[in-house]
Amino acid sequence: MKTVSILGSTGSVGRQTVALLAAHRERFRVRALVGGRNATLLAEQAKQLGAEQAVIRDPAGLATLEAALAGSGIAFDAGAEAVEAAASLAADWTMAAITGAAGLPATLAAIRRGGIIALANKEALVCAGEVMLEAVTAAGVCLLPVDSEHNAIFQALAEGNHGALEKIVLTASGGPFRTASLEEMARATPEAALRHPVWSMGAKISIDSATLMNKGLELIEAARLFSLPEQAIGVLIHPQAVVHGLAFYADGSVLAQLGAPDMQIPIAHALAWPERLRTSAPRLDLAELARLDFAEPDGVRFPALGLARQAIAAAGGAPAILSAANEVAVAAFLAGRIGFLDIVRVVDTVLQAMGAPAAPTLARVLALDAEARRRAEEFVGLPSPRLEGAALDGASWR
């Protein structure tokens, strides 16, 4: 039996991973489940899977977790140190799905321990790519991407042919404002931005999809994950959301991975790799689908992609600053403190203020993350007209 741990089991990806494990109990033994704040759900998952340990990151949930697991024989703990300790437990396979910079220490602990790391935490490579990749090399771990786009590229890369690769293309559904005008986007409410036309996701990533910042973060992640220059990574708007990634080769061949827009598929691929695991995901009916549409993204209405490309070029701590400022700006938009178009303006403003300082260690990455958040909080407190004056070409910080 393969031993597994899930870092972030109470989040969207974590819940789907738990469901797959529950459907294939005979193949897996669960070492540790780590949740954020939902101690009740964490306890239910631990009992369902017969986990050896359950850890809640928020210490306030410890009493609830203890009461829920009483008599189960499942060990429990709480707090940041306990999360890292759980991540360090020996396991054949670990799902790293704690979102944001909060997931960096645990992800790094799991990498240093070894085994297969299924990476669903974008921030690990976006914010701390240099640190994480050095740790991956040192530990000799196998890093498997779980994001649907990066998992698609992983599947489309013909083994031994990386040198013949010309470029890869990530697809984006376009989000709820794919055809909206700038005027309509300026008036967008959080409720409208959260109504993703294809995927069912958490609030933060749903807003990132609406701004296309999610695709910007994926550009950075892809550059690091597949060791490619920014120019070799394209983005296409694909509203049907069934082609998730494409690899273009020197002989003119294009290999693509297709599947229903269901996260079960990339999670199951990473969980069973190099084998395949049966899922309940819908099967594609290409005759019913009938057509596949693709278009270049509009850089004027969706400037987040341009900022991400500039962050790749600037290197250093620029990607970490971009990610941290974006988290604050998204939260401010959801709270009604800024407008939809202000999200990217805040990110650009923080990038201009901080530049691209070196980020060679996790401590430095976390310090830059904290400083970017502090500055973003200052900017989201400014009147909207101040933000509207922010440039979006990034010229002053590149």
Residue 190: CATH number of its domain: 1.10.1740.10
Is residue 390's pLDDT more than 60?
no
Examine the domain organization and report whether 312 and 391 are in the same domain.
Answer: yes
Examine the domain organization and report whether 113 and 203 are in the same domain.
Answer: no
Q: Is residue 130 part of a domain?
A: yes
Examine the domain organization and report whether 81 and 187 are in the same domain.
Answer: no
Residue 15: CATH number of its domain: 3.40.50.720
Query: Across the chain, what does the average pLDDT equal?
Result: 92
The C-alpha atoms of residue 205 and residue 100 are separated, in whole angstroms, by 11
Is residue 393's pLDDT more than 50?
no
End residue of a domain, out of 101, 129, 145:
145
* Residues 226-282 pLDDT 10s: 999 999 999 999 999 999 999 999 999 999 999 999 999 999 999 999 999 999 999
Q: Is residue 237 part of a domain?
A: no
The pLDDT of residue 122: 81
Examine the domain organization and report whether 191 and 313 are in the same domain.
Answer: yes
The C-alpha atoms of residue 72 and residue 70 are separated, in whole angstroms, by 6
Q: Is residue 255 part of a domain?
A: no
Q: Is residue 258 part of a domain?
A: no
Examine the domain organization and report whether 79 and 181 are in the same domain.
Answer: no
Between residues 99 and 19, the one the model is more confident about: 19
Beta-sheet pairing, 243-249 with 165-172 = antiparallel
DSSP 167: E
Examine the domain organization and report whether 200 and 72 are in the same domain.
Answer: no
* Residues 70-102 pLDDT 10s: 999 999 999 999 999 999 999 999 999 998 778
The C-alpha atoms of residue 381 and residue 376 are separated, in whole angstroms, by 9
For residue 88, what are the domain limits? 2-145
Q: At what angle do helices 304-314 and 318-334 cross, to 10 degrees?
A: 150
In the block, residue with structure tokens 């959260």: 194
Provide mean pLDDT across the span 147-174.
91
Examine the domain organization and report whether 75 and 198 are in the same domain.
Answer: no
- Tell me if 123 sits within 8 A of 323, measured CB to CB: yes
Provide mean pLDDT across the span 163-180.
94
Examine the domain organization and report whether 7 and 60 are in the same domain.
Answer: yes
Cβ-Cβ contacts under 8 Å for 231 (sequence gap 6 or more): none
Q: Kindly state the helix (H) or strand (E) to which residue 133 belongs, with its residue range.
A: helix 122-139
Provide mean pLDDT across the span 149-178.
91
Check whether the bond before 274 is cis (ω within 30° of 0).
yes
Is residue 386's pLDDT more than 70?
no
Examine the domain organization and report whether 346 and 201 are in the same domain.
Answer: yes
Examine the domain organization and report whether 21 and 129 are in the same domain.
Answer: yes
Provide mean pLDDT across the span 6-20.
96
Examine the domain organization and report whether 91 and 202 are in the same domain.
Answer: no
Provide mean pLDDT across the span 310-326.
95
The C-alpha atoms of residue 300 and residue 181 are separated, in whole angstroms, by 10
**Number of folded domains in the chain?**
2
Q: Is residue 348 part of a domain?
A: yes
Provide mean pLDDT across the span 316-334.
95
The pLDDT of residue 385: 41
Q: Is residue 347 part of a domain?
A: yes
* Residues 100-134 pLDDT 10s: 778 899 999 999 999 999 999 887 899 999 999 99
Q: Is residue 101 part of a domain?
A: yes
Provide mean pLDDT across the span 169-193.
95
List 248's β-bridge partners, or say none: 167, 254
Examine the domain organization and report whether 187 and 315 are in the same domain.
Answer: yes
Q: Is residue 384 part of a domain?
A: yes
Is residue 184's pLDDT more than 60?
yes
The pLDDT of residue 200: 66
In the block, residue with structure tokens 């070894």: 114
The C-alpha atoms of residue 340 and residue 342 are separated, in whole angstroms, by 5
| Share of residues in the chain with pLDDT > 70 (%) | 95
What is the secondary structure of 291-342 as a DSSP string?
Answer: ----B---TTT-THHHHHHHHHHH-TTHHHHHHHHHHHHHHHHHTTSS-TTH
Give how far Cα 207 sits from Cα of 98, 121, 173, 199, 202, Å.
18, 17, 13, 12, 9
